[in-house]
């Protein structure tokens, strides 16, 4: 009991920790997408920062070279015009680092106190010096470029100018950086959103198909073997659905075989038990009639009919015994003897119901002899009884013995009855399946058993308002 409880406990624990497949896939994709977007954003920011720095340095260098050797006088008016044109702030320093002129708005005290700071950036020799974190005299941060002034003398002022400082506002640089970052960032975000929508759609499609398979498996567990509708492309899920349908079909067949086996076992047990008891009773009745026939000479026809009915009852009991597992004694008889015996046994019932029994024999089959004639007699007799009962009063029954495709023998028994109902058509060869009020459903089961033991088959069909049963037996096995 503990062994059975342990797996149940594990299943319950697994059920409590259950997370839907859709959630797992979406969370995994979102996590991956966030990591990718983060990496792309960081890479884009790094690339934009370096690209912006390179553009700033190139811009400051270009402006510095133009201002370091101008072809025009560097007057305050020109200085402010150049500042507005280049969107920069300009500072002119003399050789000692004092501010000669600037476009910055600062007080004279601030100029004197910060002149040494400006002078420190000039002690780099020749060329253009770039400072990306320069704090200007107006106490603001700039990207600065310092160039040694080599302009021509103009109004005596050129001699006083030694350095030109070009200051680019940090806000302008940030705007340049965002402009460089915006396109890859927007592209990455839009791509992530698009991929997320596509992944969600694909996930939903896959999960829906998986849920359909899951529901089908649950229905199989309850005994519903209806096939699942196949949809989508021919992929792994399509093959999984196909295999589930195949499994359901195999389980349905297996269940039908199990039920059939259970019915056969029940029939075998009932047939064996009842037949033994009834056979003793019928044997006593037959012996009594035989003794009476010896002592009395009158009404011999009635006694003959009674004896035929007793033989029919005994024959049926023998077939029940065979259905219950007992084997019959081997007796060789010709095909015509088998047919005559079966007709003789059913004739009283046929005459009682007013049925018309027509027999058609193929003349070239007279020499066929069956070593297991009792099996063939049982099959033909049960088919005749079934046809007579199905046709009812004044019915028309026909028995045809013809040669089929070599080496097969075909025995056809047809009647003009209404035929089996749709409810039992697929199961009427199974034991205990019947639509007759007083029937037990063993006749056609006995025919099927006899046909299998003779390596043959029995089928049926409707033809022009008649029900036709075909018993096909290989002549080589007779």
Asked if the model's pLDDT at residue 412 lies above 80, the reply is: yes
- % of the chain with per-residue pLDDT over 90: 3
Torsion of CA 129, 134, 139, 140, to 10 degrees: 110
Give the pLDDT band of residue 453 (cuts 50, 70, 90): confident
CB 435 within 8 A of CB 424: yes
| Burial tier of 132 (Cβ tally within 10 Å: 0-12, 13-18, 19+) | middle
Say if residue 338's pLDDT is above 60: yes
pLDDT tens digits for range 256-267: 777 777 766 666
The percentage of residues in the chain with a pLDDT greater than 70, rounded to a whole number, is 71
Q: 452 pLDDT exceeds 80? A: yes
pLDDT digits (tens, 9 = 90+) for 217-255: 888 887 787 887 777 667 777 777 788 888 888 888 888
Model confidence at 450: pLDDT above 80: yes
Q: Calculate helix-pair angle for 300-323, 236-295, nearest 10 degrees.
A: 150
Q: What mean pLDDT is predicted for residues 175-186?
A: 81
Is the model more confident about 235 or about 412? 412
Mean pLDDT is lowest, of 168-182, 228-242, 342-356, 449-463, for 228-242
Cis peptide before 407 (omega within 30 of 0): yes
Contact 277, 326 (CB under 8 A): no
Max mean pLDDT among 280-284, 339-343, 431-435 falls in 339-343
User: For the sheet containing 141-148, what is the strand order?
Assistant: 99-102, 89-93, 163-169, 141-148, 128-135
Task: Say yes or no to pLDDT of 117 above 50.
Answer: no
pLDDT value at residue 319? 58
Q: At 469, is the pLDDT very low, low, confident or very high (cuts 50, 70, 90)? A: very high
The per-residue pLDDT for 414 is 92
- pLDDT category at 415 given cuts 50, 70, 90 is very high
Are the C-beta atoms of 383 and 445 separated by less than 8 Å?
no
User: Residue 462 has which token pair?
Assistant: 């409707």
pLDDT over 70 (residue 281): no
355 phi and psi, to 5 degrees? -80, 155
Is the pLDDT higher at 341 or at 283?
Answer: 341
Res 31 pLDDT > 60: yes
User: In angstroms, rounded to a whole number, what is the distance separating the alpha carbons of residues 418 and 429?
Assistant: 18
5 has a pLDDT exceeding 60: no
3-state DSSP assignment of residue 76: helix
Q: Which residue has the tokens 């996930």?
A: 203
Evaluate if residue 430 carries a pLDDT over 70.
Answer: yes
413/409 Cα distance (integer angstroms): 13
The answer for 362, left when phi > 0, alpha when psi is -120 to 50, beta otherwise, is: beta
- Who has greater pLDDT, 338 or 292? 338
Read off φ and ψ for residue 371, nearest 5 degrees: -75, -30
Would you place residue 297 in the very low, low, confident or very high pLDDT band (cuts 50, 70, 90)?
low
pLDDT for the residue 339: 84
Rounded Cα gap, residues 82 and 78, in angstroms: 6
Model confidence pLDDT, tens digit, residues 63-72 = 888 888 887 7
Residues 6+ apart with CB under 8 A from 225: 248, 249, 251, 252, 255
**What is the reported pLDDT for 155?**
44
Q: pLDDT value at position 268?
A: 62
At 298, the pLDDT band (50, 70, 90 cuts) reads: low
438, pLDDT greater than 70: no
CA-based nearest residue to 402, from 332, 319, 468, 333? 468
Residue 273 has pLDDT above 70, yes or no: no
Number of helices followed by number of strands (H, E) in the chain = 10, 12
pLDDT at 277: 55
Give the chain's mean pLDDT: 75
pLDDT digits (tens, 9 = 90+) for 51-62: 888 888 898 889
The highest-confidence range among 113-117, 118-122, 277-281, by mean pLDDT, is 277-281
Lowest-pLDDT range of 178-182, 244-248, 403-407 = 403-407
Say which range, 83-87, 224-228, 303-307, has the weakest mean pLDDT: 303-307
The yes-or-no verdict on residue 18 having pLDDT over 80 is no
CA–CA separation, 360 and 47 (whole Å): 100
């Amino acid at each position: 009991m503990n062994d059975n409880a342990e797996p149940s406990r594990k299943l319950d624990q697994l059920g409590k920790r259950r997370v839907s497949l859709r959630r797992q896939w979406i969370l995994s994709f979102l996590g991956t997408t966030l990591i990718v977007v983060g990496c792309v954003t960081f890479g884009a920011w790094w690339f934009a920062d370096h690209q912006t720095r390179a553009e700033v340095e190139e811009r400051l260098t270009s402006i510095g070279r133009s201002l370091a050797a101008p072809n025009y006088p560097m007057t305050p008016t020109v200085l402010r015009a150049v500042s507005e044109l280049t969107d920069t702030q300009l500072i002119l320093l003399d050789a000692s680092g004092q501010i000669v002129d600037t476009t910055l708005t600062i007080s004279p005290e601030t100029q004197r106190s910060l002149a040494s700071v400006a002078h420190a950036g000039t002690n780099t020799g020749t060329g253009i010096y770039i400072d990306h974190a320069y704090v200007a005299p107006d106490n603001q941060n700039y990207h600065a470029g310092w160039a040694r002034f080599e302009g021509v003398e103009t109004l005596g002022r050129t001699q006083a100018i030694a350095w030109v400082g070009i200051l680019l506002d940090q806000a302008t640089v940030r705007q340049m950086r965002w402009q460089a970052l915006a396109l890859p960032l927007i592209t990455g975000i839009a791509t992530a959103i698009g991929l997320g929508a596509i992944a969600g759609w694909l996930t939903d499609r896959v999960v829906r198909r998986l849920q359909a398979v899951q529901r089908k498996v649950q229905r199989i567990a309850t005994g519903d073997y209806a096939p699942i509708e196949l949809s989508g492309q021919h992929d792994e899920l399509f093959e999984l659905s196909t295999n589930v349908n195949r499994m359901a079909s195999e389980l349905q067949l297996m269940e039908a075989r199990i039920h059939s086996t259970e019915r056969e076992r029940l029939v075998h047990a009932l047939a064996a038990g009842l037949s033994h008891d009834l056979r003793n009773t019928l044997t006593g009745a037959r012996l009594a009639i035989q003794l009476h026939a010896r002592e009395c000479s009158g009404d011999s026809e009635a006694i003959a009919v009674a004896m035929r009915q007793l033989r029919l009852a005994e024959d049926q009991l023998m077939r029940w015994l065979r259905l219950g597992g007992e084997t019959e004694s081997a007796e060789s008889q010709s095909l015509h003897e088998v047919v005559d015996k079966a007709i003789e046994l059913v004739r009283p019932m046929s005459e009682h119901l007013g049925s018309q029994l027509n027999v058609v024999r193929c003349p070239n089959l007279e020499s066929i002899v069956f070593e297991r004639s009792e099996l063939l007699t049982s099959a033909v007799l049960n088919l005749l009884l079934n046809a007579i009962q199905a046709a009812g009063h004044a019915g028309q029954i026909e028995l045809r013995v013809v040669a089929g495709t070599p080496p097969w023998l075909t025995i056809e028994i047809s009647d003009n009855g209404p035929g089996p109902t749709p409810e039992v058509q697929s199961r009427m060869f199974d034991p205990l399946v019947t639509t007759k009020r007083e029937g037990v459903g063993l006749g056609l089961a006995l025919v099927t058993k006899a046909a299998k033991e003779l390596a043959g088959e029995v089928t049926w069909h409707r033809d022009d308002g008649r029900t036709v049963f075909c018993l096909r037996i290989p002549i080589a096995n007779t």
